[in-house]
Amino acid sequence: MQAILYVAHGSRMKAGVEQAVAFLQRVQQDIALPIQEICFLELAEPTIAQGIENCFRQGATAIAIMPILLLAAQHAKHDIPKEIDKAQKRYPTVHFTYGEPLGVHELLIDTLQKRILETQFHSNNASVLLIGRGSSDPAVREDLTKIALRLRDKYGYGKVDTCFLYGAGPNLEEWLAQRKQDNEQVFIVPYLLFTGILRQSIAKRLQGYEVKNMILCNSLGYDDNVRKVLVERIIDLIKRNYLEEGCFS
């Protein structure tokens, strides 16, 4: 019997966990599978190991693991696969497949534009800054750059920059230091799913710099476009599982 396990990141804030669960419960309604469980990578329960056990106890013979992550960094490439390897040893008769993060997708570009328009400050000569969580993986910087370029080209911005809160690559403070003498209007969009601690951190950092014409937008968040992209990724994963094992039911 086919199961799917959604792996959300987790948060120290109760609201962050609740937002993820509420979003994934909406996604579950679009997926016609008998066993669907939600778990967290860190900072919340159930853990990945507990989520896999919950699927197995319900009779799962195949478990599709779906990461609820924006980009493929350390968590997607190492942490979750490590948990899958452990589970494979514990449940040798279960077939595991692993999905892709949301990645670069046209619908996510549209949501970024929606976040900008929500501010009602839009102007034709504005620029944009996308702020990612951060990673030491160069692929994360490459993907966020692809997203930035697509946003620029699709919606006609003069410039779309990127920076990160943590890890390698340009950080927010470096970007702000370069902007001190620039009066061009800039929309700052956190490229994050949850709108909690990290967005608060961004707002606090901006207060310490006397840079004009900066507008902090809402985070990417859990909107319908994100849901559609996730459902698309899930369908691709289940199809792959069916082709590999013929165990879709």
What domains, with CATH codes, occur in the chain? 2-101+224-246 (3.40.50.1400), 106-216 (3.40.50.1400)
Q: What is the 3-state secondary structure (H, E, C) of 151-213?
A: HHHHHCCCCEEEEECCCCCCEHHHHHHHHCCCCCCEEEEECCCCCCHHHHHHHHHHHCCCCCC
Buried b / exposed e along 150-166 (16+ C-beta atoms within 10 A): bbbeebebeebbbbbbe
Check whether 247 has a pLDDT greater than 60: no
Check whether 148 has a pLDDT greater than 80: yes
Give the pLDDT band of residue 181 (cuts 50, 70, 90).
low
Q: Shortest CA distance to 40 belongs to which of 18, 62, 64, 63? A: 18
The pLDDT of residue 245 is 63
Mean pLDDT for 139-155 is 95
Q: ∠ at Cα 135 (72, 197), nearest 5°?
A: 100
The pTM of this model reads 0.91
**Residue 71, amino acid:** L
DSSP symbols for 32-59: --SEEEEEESSSSSSBHHHHHHHHHHTT
**CA 142 to each of CA 103, 157, 167, 170: distance values in angstroms, whole numbers, following the listed order:** 11, 19, 14, 13
pLDDT tens, position by position, 91-141? 999 999 999 999 999 999 999 999 999 999 877 778 999 999 888 888 999
Contact 103, 150 (CB under 8 A): no
Q: Shortest CA distance to 228 belongs to which of 146, 73, 63, 106? A: 106
* DSSP secondary structure code for residue 61 in this structure: S
Mean pLDDT for 33-49 is 96
